[in-house]
């Protein structure tokens, strides 16, 4: 018999600590349990079950399901514009919970069938506008390409909207910073927000582009959608332009800002799902 002052087993309960050596041996040797004449075998059965935990867990009901946001997720405008890295299947429930109406993809690679199916099943409109990377000392984003992306972002009928690239850092950061400039946010503040999401891999070429971007190129769209001087206080219900008697700008309007064959081709490649 162990003494009353012996050290308890790790994780033991008072009942387990007070079990005599014979009871412990019954747990360690299951074949002895069968031949035991003890009537009180419940503690042994419980202990034996604890030594063999279940290897599977029943799925959670929908109301208890864990939502996983995409990498680098953040709200640009609450309940209206969001940003993130490339969504994967584990993020779909989270995106659905936001009632996203439109997704803007900034990288040119083809979408997976899984991603396309998710958007179709949830009636999500999709635009794919290639925003090239600024790196190696070269600025590759043109003002016209940025204006095309901003036309999607500024259109309130697209909200709630999710903007994403691969990591949600550089291309998404440039679009978000240029959107801020349409709100008359100063360069330093717009770049500070870019840094928040891209640190520690901030790109000087991105920041040079943000500083040089002239937001007046999308001024007519920003004005028609009520972004100046600040967004209107009422929530977007999909009929904002009707209530305010404004015309929704078309992508031809954006292309007309600087009518070039290259830019018109870019507009034509916008993918609407």
With a cut of 90, say whether residue 257 has pLDDT above it. no
Token pair of 99 as six digits: 């009632």
Residue at token pair 């290897």 = 55
Task: Tell me if the pTM is above 0.75.
Answer: no
> Would you say the C-alpha torsion 181, 165, 76, 103 has a positive or negative sign?
positive
Q: Which of 17-26, 80-89, 120-129 has the lowest mean pLDDT?
A: 17-26
Contact 128, 109 (CB under 8 A): no
With a cut of 70, say whether residue 131 has pLDDT above it. yes
Asked about 202 being catalytic, the answer comes back as no
How far apart (Å, rounded) are the C-alpha atoms in residues 51 and 161? 50
Quote the pLDDT of residue 138.
Answer: 94
Q: First-to-last CA distance in the chain?
A: 75
Select from 3.40.630.10, 2.40.50.100, 3.90.190.10, 3.30.200.20 the CATH code of 70-268.
Answer: 3.90.190.10
Cα 100 versus chain centre, distance: 11
- Please state, for a pLDDT cut of 90, what percent of the chain lies above it: 56
With a cut of 60, say whether residue 205 has pLDDT above it. yes
Q: Of the listed 165, 174, 178, 202, which one is catalytic? A: 165
Sequence spans of domains, the chain = 70-268
């Amino acid at each position: 018999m162990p003494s009353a002052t012996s050290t308890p087993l790790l994780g033991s309960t008072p009942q387990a600590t007070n079990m005599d050596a014979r009871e412990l041996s019954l747990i360690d040797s299951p074949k002895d349990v069968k031949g035991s004449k003890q009537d009180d075998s419940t503690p042994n059965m419980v202990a034996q079950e604890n030594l063999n935990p279940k290897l599977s867990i029943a799925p959670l009901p929908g109301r208890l399901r864990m939502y996983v946001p995409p990498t680098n997720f953040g709200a640009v405008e609450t309940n209206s514009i969001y940003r993130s890295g490339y969504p994967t299947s584990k993020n779909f429930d989270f995106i659905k919970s936001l009632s996203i109406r439109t997704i803007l993809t900034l990288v040119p690679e083809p979408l997976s069938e899984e991603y396309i199916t998710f958007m179709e099943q949830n009636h999500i409109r999709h635009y794919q506008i290639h925003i090239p990377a600024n790196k190696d000392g070269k600025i590759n984003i043109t003002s016209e390409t940025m204006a095309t992306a901003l036309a999607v972002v500024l259109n309130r009928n697209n909200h709630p909207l999710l903007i994403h690239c691969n990591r949600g850092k550089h291309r998404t950061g440039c679009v978000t910073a240029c959107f801020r400039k349409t709100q008359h946010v100063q360069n330093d503040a717009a770049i500070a927000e870019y840094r928040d999401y891209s640190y520690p891999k901030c790109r000087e070429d991105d920041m040079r582009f943000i500083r040089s971007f002239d937001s007046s190129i999308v001024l007519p769209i920003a004005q028609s959608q009520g972004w100046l001087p600040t967004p209107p206080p009422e929530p977007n219900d999909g009929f904002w332009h009707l209530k305010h008697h404004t015309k929704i700008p078309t992508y031809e309007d954006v292309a007309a800002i600087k009518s070039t064959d290259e830019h018109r081709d870019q507009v034509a490649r916008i993918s609407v799902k």
